[in-house]
Amino acid sequence: MASDEKKSAARPVPGILPDRAQPHDPTVERAVLAAMLREPSPCVDIAIEHFRSPEVFYSHVYREIYQVILELYNDPKMKVDIISVAHRLKTLGKLDAVGGEVFLAELDGSISTTVNIESWCLILQKYATLRKMIDVCSESLLKCYAPDADAGRLVEQIETDIYNVRGDQDKFSNAEVQELFAQEFNTLMKIYTGEIEVGIQTGFSQLDEYTGGLKPGEMFVLAARPSIGKTSLALNLIRNLVLPTRSQHPRKVAFFSLEMTSAQIARRLLCTEAGLSESVFWTKSFRDSDLTKMTNAVSAFQKAKLFIDDTGGLTIAELRAKARRLKMKEGIECVVIDYLQLMHSDGRADSRQQEVAEISGGIKTLAKDLNIPVLVLAQLNREVDKTAGAGARPKLAHLRESGTIEQDADIVTFLHRNRDDAKEISSAEQSVEAEWIIEKNRNGRTGILKLLFFPTKMEFIPAAPYKEEDCPQ
């Protein structure tokens, strides 16, 4: 029999350890090919299901044989057997290079059964993944030595390459179409009976009724004019998600704040949860009874899985890298970004409009890739007040100057209130009216949710249900 060393020949190793063979098992590679020759159906189908490319075979000889088997298998006029494989290889001028007809005959007789083909394929898949990791790491090492290497972009590229290697393992499915439909029907029935949630419940029941909650893979936009309270509303929502005292199923949330520091966010969350104004500390009007409230608030948040990143000027590449790490390491279930217009692209955009479009598209891609909802805050231009009037409700048209946000987002909402209403309020019990406008909902209805805003506590709570006549036109 031709030696396995010859059949495993010379796969170039980039970068490091050039004299060391990469992980592989020639015996298993030979067994898979033998099974495909002996029982093309179902063995070829099983191999196709597991192998995305011939590169799963370390040996270039075995790769050639594998490709010929696939070509014959996909040709309705041909059958897969030793004679047809040998003939096709001879036609291509490759028969002698693989060891001739003698080697093919030996290959066919190298196994006694095909029953373990699935296990063999998994072994080859494992080795192929290890080799791909070696290639990625080796090439990354060489890039680091490049004189014009950009550290930020390089880190992003390396993380993307590694993430893609990992993701390749999850892209195979042997589910029949009938099984797929049955599974989805069962999922829909469980949603109907309340056994599973459509999306993450926000704590705002009216919002959840119309949106189904924050659903995996969706980009949810909350936009408002400056100083309306969009950050406060987002923090209220985060509080509902992460606190065990407010949710039966507390979630792991990553909050990327480009406007406020992590300390400011922590203070805001603690005071809102305690029902206090931050001013009680600055004015030294803090009472003994307030201490209990703050202590309880601290205790609640110590049990929460909230990850805060206050990196200023965050790029979309940095956001993706950080979110991916948190997803893999901590299992985050939702990302919140405050706010979109403070982010930057990776420096390739020719205009600010194009830059924002790249950022928006990157956020949508992030939601889809990680299969988690992304809530992104957006600022409406102050010019909106001049064109629509200070009291007018924002519209989707007011987002269009911000590139493709409207197009990328699955849900677009606006927070609207009269900014002047809160100026005279000094008591924690006093509130003003606000509206949470669902202007776009890709998979549901639109409408207006009535809110009450308590300025001293920076807290929004649901008010009266919306009326149909309040729905945006």
75 pLDDT more than 60: yes
Backbone angles phi, psi at 167, to 5 degrees: -65, -30
3-state SS class at 28: helix
* Mean pLDDT in residue range 205-219: 88
How much is the pLDDT for 183? 74
Nearest Cα to Cα of residue 34 among 107, 138, 140: 107
Point out the least confidently predicted range of 11-25, 149-163, 208-222, 249-263. 11-25
How much is the pLDDT for 466? 46
Give yes or no for a contact between 158 and 141, defined as CB atoms under 8 angstroms apart. Answer: no
187 pLDDT more than 80: no
**Residue 149 CB burial class (10 angstroms; 0-12, 13-18, ≥19):** exposed
Structural element, H or E, at residue 461: strand 459-462
Strand-pair category, 219-224 with 374-379: parallel
How much is the pLDDT for 357? 82
Q: Report the Cα 132 to chain-centroid distance in Å.
A: 22
How much is the pLDDT for 5? 46
* Mean pLDDT in residue range 180-184: 70
Distances in Å between the Cα of 259 and the Cα atoms of 228, 262, 335, 337, 409 are 15, 10, 16, 10, 22
458, two tokens: 């920076």
* Interval 338-385: pLDDT, tens: 888 888 776 666 677 777 888 888 889 889 888 899 999 988 876 666
How much is the pLDDT for 172? 45
27 pLDDT more than 80: yes
Give yes or no for a contact between 262 and 253, defined as CB atoms under 8 angstroms apart. Answer: no
Cα angle: 119, vertex 125, 127; to 5 degrees:
110
Q: Give residue 169's pLDDT band: very low, low, confident or very high (50, 70, 90).
A: low
How far is it, in rounded angstroms, from Cα 446 to Cα 128? 49
Place of tokens 């509303």: 233
* Interval 295-319: pLDDT, tens: 888 888 888 899 998 888 788 877 8
Mean pLDDT for all residues in the chain: 80
* Interval 334-345: pLDDT, tens: 999 988 888 877
Torsion of CA 256, 199, 241, 435, to 10 degrees: 80
* Interval 80-89: pLDDT, tens: 888 888 888 8
How much is the pLDDT for 376? 94
Nearest Cα to Cα of residue 442 among 271, 247, 199, 226: 199
Strand-pair category, 334-338 with 411-416: unpaired
How much is the pLDDT for 58? 87
121 pLDDT more than 60: yes
Structural element, H or E, at residue 329: helix 316-330
Cα angle: 284, vertex 239, 269; to 5 degrees:
20
How much is the pLDDT for 246? 86
52 pLDDT more than 90: no
Cβ count within 10 A of residue 204:
20
* Mean pLDDT in residue range 247-260: 89
Residue 200, strand partner residues: 214
Taken in order of first residue, the domains within the chain and their CATH numbers are 4-170 (1.10.860.10), 191-470 (3.40.50.300)
Cα angle: 228, vertex 234, 240; to 5 degrees:
135
284 pLDDT more than 70: no
* Mean pLDDT in residue range 28-37: 89
**Residue 241 CB burial class (10 angstroms; 0-12, 13-18, ≥19):** buried
* Strand runs labelled E in 277-360: 306-309, 334-338
How much is the pLDDT for 336? 95
Q: Is the dihedral of CA 400, 403, 405, 408 positive or negative?
A: positive
Q: Which residue has the higher pLDDT, 415 or 455?
A: 415
How much is the pLDDT for 255? 94
* Mean pLDDT in residue range 20-42: 86
